[in-house]
Structures are given as C-alpha cells and as structure tokens.
Structure 1
Amino acid sequence: MSSISQVTTIDLPDPSHKPAPSQANSSPSVFRIQPAQGWLSLGLKELWEYRELLYFLTWRDIKVRYKQTALGASWAVLQPLMTMVVFSLFFGKLAKIESDGVPYPVFSLAGLVPWTFFAYALAQSSNSLVQSANLVKKVYFPRLAVPIASVLSGLADFAIAFVVLLGMMFAFGVYPTWNILWLPFLLVLTLMTSLGIGLWMAALNVKYRDVRYVIPFLTQFWMFASPIAYPSSLIEDPFWRSVYSINPMVGVVEGFRWALLGTDTAPGPMLIVSTIAAGLLLLGGTYYFRQMEKSFADLV
C-alpha cells in the first residue's frame, strides 16, 4: 500500500490538442497522489471541503458509543457523579480540602464535567486512526477529520453532564453569575487541549501500538496534576501558580468554576498561560500529525 498523500496534482490534457482516432476512447486524465515536499501546510482548506464527512464521522462515533448499551446516555452522568461522590467523601469530609467557599460536591463536579470530556476525547482521539484502519487504507480524505470527529463526539456527553451540573448547583443554592458568558471560550480551550494532545497520541499510536497502554496512566496522572479535587488557591506563590498553569487543564477547570460558581479566585494570568500552552500544544500536534500522515496507510 502506498503512502497517503498530502498534495494532489491532476494532469489534464491540453484543450487545444485533438486526440487521434485511436485515442478517442482512452482517458487522458491522470490523478496522481504524492507526498508533499518542503514546508507542510495545516490542510485546513481541504478539511473544510470535507466538512460533510467530518459531520458523518462525528455522528457515527456518537451512535457507536450508545449502540447496544443498557444505560445509554446515563454513562455521561454516572461517571462524573460517582467520582464526585468519592471525592466528596475522601477529600471533602475526611481530608477537609478547601473548596473556595463553595459546597464541595458542587466544587468537585464543576471540575469533573470538563475533565470527563477531556479524558473521553483524549482516549477516543488517540485510538481513532487505528480503529478506522480500513477507512484510512482504502479511501483518501483529510486524516485530520478522524481525530477531530472523535473529539467532537464527546460534546454530546458534555452537554448532558453540564445540565446535571446546573441542577446540582440549584439544589445547593449556587447560581451562575455574569461570568458564565466566558463559558464558550472555556469550552473552546477544552477542545484545543483535547485535540492538541489527541493529535500527538493518534500519530504516535499508529507507529507505536503500546501508546494505547500509556493513555490510561497519562489520564490518571493528569487528573491529579489538575485542580479537580483541590483548588489551585493552595499554591499561593504567583510564580508557581503561573508554572502550574502550563498544564492547560488548570485554566480550564479554574475557569469553569469561576464562570459557573462565582468563586473569588478569578483565573486571570493562569487562564492566559493555559491558553498559550493549549495553542502551542495544538499547533505542534497538528504539524506532527501532518508530517506523519504520509505513512499512516502503510503502518495502520
């Protein structure tokens, strides 16, 4: 199997040239797919041209997720809720972790909702190319569509869990403030972080199949390195708070709490650092994915 192309060229015949009678029934057009030379483009224009394919891949992933399941969409609620119960018992009741003046169950769930989306998107996007091996080997299309669709499919679960979070907030007497207008930006930041690391892992997983075993460990480590069970306000030094914010999920989690719960710890500089880190992660992941794309059909 030849490598999947990144540049397509079409050789067309000269319109002024009249074919000989013996060539009248032959097809002079040649469609040649070849690897790109020199500096790679991100291929966003081509990806836009295949936007309908991106939609169908996203819808396919959503249907596969809930096909032949006993609880269906309830899984989108059970995972963050059960984790919230465990965190509330061990970190809230026993360890007495501070929660920035907010009831600990609401505090932890506000961090778990974006985190659960991130964890799902990372797991699905990292395995997306391997799971779509038959499609990748037989049909040409922008390979970026596969991990992007895996990430976007997690928005369905996020929407369901977010509604549950709002219900939990009202039950505890916590109401959103005008800061909630920042939520679309924070959701985009979550998408950037998920897709950025997902592109790195997806490309690496094609070449090194043991990457899939690293993902659960990486996700677990990343969760405890993010302020989900505890507030980032425990780090009082501004310099170390900025260093801590290099983890993009720090800005995401603290931003969600500030936007929804009205906590006094506005993310400010932390959100700026996390946004820059997420942007660099996404840009680097996209270029690495495009660099490795030419060998996907041979290795997958």
Structure 2
Amino acid sequence: MSTSNVKSSGLGLSDWEQDALDARNAKRCGAEMPVTRIQSKSDWQAIDFAELYVYRDLFRYLVRREIKVRYAQSAIGVGWAILQPLFTMLVFTVIFGRLAKVGSDGAPYALFSFAGLVPWMFFSNAVTDGVNGLIGGASMMSKVYFPRMFMPLAANAARLIDFGVASIVMAGLMVWYGVLPNAGALALPWILAMMFLTASGVTLWLSTFAIQYRDVKHAMGFVVQILMYAAPVVYPASLIPEAYQRVYAINPMVGVIEGLRSGWLGTRVLPWDLLLIGSVSAILLFVTGVSYFNAKQRVFADLA
C-alpha cells in the first residue's frame, strides 16, 4: 500500500477534508466507504414522511413501551381508564346535574357528562403524557438520532387504548339507559382523527415550550383544568349565544365533544359547522406544531 493510502492525521485538515481524503484513499484500495452527510435544516419544516416511514418500527416500540410503563406495578391496570371518567361523571352529575341544574339537551345528565369526559380525558392525558415524555426522554435524545416528535406522539397514540376502553363503558351506559346511537355515529372516524390531531398539535407546541421553559411543565395541570371549562364538557354548546357559536368552534374540542354526543346520544343534529371549523383549527394546530417542533428540536438535547 502506498503512503498516500495512510490516513493523513495531524496535517491540519478540517474534518470534512479529512473524510474526503479517507474516501479517496479507500477508493484507490478498491474499498467502498459509506459517507454520511449531516446538514443543518432550515426553520419551520414540514413533516418528513420518508424519514418517519424508515423509523416506523421505533414508533411502534415507543407506543408499546408507553403502555407497559403506564400500567407497570399497577393493581388495576387499564381499569384506571374506567375509574377516572366514571368517578368524575358521578361528581359532575351531583354538582352540575342535580345542584346547579345545568341542561343536558334532553339526555340523562350522567350520559351527557360521560360522553364529554371520554374525549376530554383522552385530550388532557395525552397532552400531559406527551409533554412529560419528551422531557423525560432527554437522555435518549443525547445519545442517538431519531425523529424527536415520536416521543410525544407515541404518548398520544398510547392513550387511544384508554379512549377505547372508556368508549366501551359508554356503550354499556347507553344500554343501561336505553339510548341507541344514530346515523351521526358514522362520523366517528372523522371525529377521532380531529381529536388526535388536536391533542398532537397542542402536545407538540407545549412540549417544545416545556423544553425551553420549565414553567410550562409546572403549569400543565392548571392549564388543562382551565381548558376543560372552555369546552362543552359539563354544559351543552347550545348555552353559547348563536352569534358566538362559530368563534367558539375555533376550539376543536367543541366539535369533537358535540359531534360525539350527537352520534351517541342524539342530543342534536350532527354539528357540521362546528366540525368543519374545528377540523381546520385542528389541522392548523398540528401543522404549525410540527413545524415549530422541527425548528427547535436541534437544541433539545442541550436544553433538556
């Protein structure tokens, strides 16, 4: 082997010049050296679907890990997905249904409140888990590269298990009260997609802020509690004056909750206007959340 094939360290070359020289030397020896080019990305990037597809197995692993960790060493396991909305429903029924006499659009207040709590519990728990999951995964981010958004989105996807279990309980309550779903239930896939996009968009925004400002993590419980009263969980959207209905619908969870109640309980005709406005808001939340998250993810390992 000629002296030109020896690695020329200590010659004052920059890293990329040294790599280029090594590649040329390897080519002369008949060998092939893989070259990886790492480039900084511009701010506010869209989703790289090709990259997400390559790492799809990692995403499935993270979802399974979230589910296992959540119920590890838990006495009742997935039963918490039943008890949390069920006991909250009982409290709401006594306070808002019996004492405050809040309307329920003709449905039994217990069913009415539970139908609002099922999507709301998914939203609040998914956002909280997603924000905490990204902060808790700081050690992983500093060791290996992978799409960072997988961490909050995996926490959100894992919460769909709880949503499914609570929906089964909702079906049991409907049978108990003798209430049948109507044709509006066919819009369930649309409503679920809208719900997931909303939770994911808010999670990406808040998790990005939480990495930079730890106050966000401490304020999460208070913020989620306040947001619940900005959605029609304990009261019907019909209490909002007609003139403000479309402004109110900018909150995507309004269309989600009212849409589910319409399909499950028949409290109203399927609210197309609330769903359409909410769908636009949900998509904007998700797209801008992804873009802002991608713009800031290169500093996550340093700040976490």
TM-score by length of 2: 0.89
Alpha-carbon shift at residue 171 of structure 1 (Å): 0.2
**Are 1:228 and 1:253, in contact at CA under 8 Å, matched by a contact in 2?**
yes
Counterpart code for 1:85: L
- Tell me the equivalent position of 2:46: 41
Is 1:106 the counterpart of 2:111? The answer is yes
List aligned pairs for 1:11-22, cutoff 5 A.
19-20=27-28
**Are 1:108 and 1:229, in contact at CA under 8 Å, matched by a contact in 2?**
yes
Match of 1:31 among 7, 28, 36: 36
Is 1:201 the counterpart of 2:189? The answer is no
**Are 1:193 and 1:281, in contact at CA under 8 Å, matched by a contact in 2?**
yes
- Tell me the equivalent position of 1:222: 227
Is 1:258 the counterpart of 2:248? The answer is no
Alpha-carbon distance change, 12 to 273 in structure 1, aligned in 2, over 3 angstroms = farther
Structure showing greater Rg: 2
Root mean square deviation, CA, Å: 2.1
Alpha-carbon shift at residue 73 of structure 1 (Å): 0.9
List aligned pairs for 1:1-16, cutoff 5 A.
none
**Are 1:129 and 1:147, in contact at CA under 8 Å, matched by a contact in 2?**
yes
Counterpart code for 2:210: N
Match of 2:284 among 277, 280, 283: 280
- Measured in 1, the distance between the counterparts of 2:21 and 2:183 equals 62
Task: Deviation per CA, 1:256-286: give whole Å up to 9, x if none.
Answer: 1011111224312111111111111111111
Please, which runs of 5 or more residues in structure 1 have no aligned partner? 1-10
Counterpart code for 1:173: G
Counterpart code for 2:121: T
Give aligned-pair identity as a percent.
Answer: 43
Task: Deviation per CA, 1:85-126: give whole Å up to 9, x if none.
Answer: 011001101111111110000010001001000011000111
Counterpart code for 1:228: V
Alpha-carbon distance change, 38 to 80 in structure 1, aligned in 2, over 3 angstroms = closer
> Comparing 64-73 with 259-268, which one deviates more in the overlay?
259-268
Alpha-carbon shift at residue 41 of structure 1 (Å): 3.4
List aligned pairs for 1:132-143, cutoff 5 A.
132-143=137-148
**Are 1:227 and 1:253, in contact at CA under 8 Å, matched by a contact in 2?**
yes
- Tell me the equivalent position of 1:5: none
User: Aligned residue pairs: how many?
Assistant: 286
TM-score by length of 1: 0.90
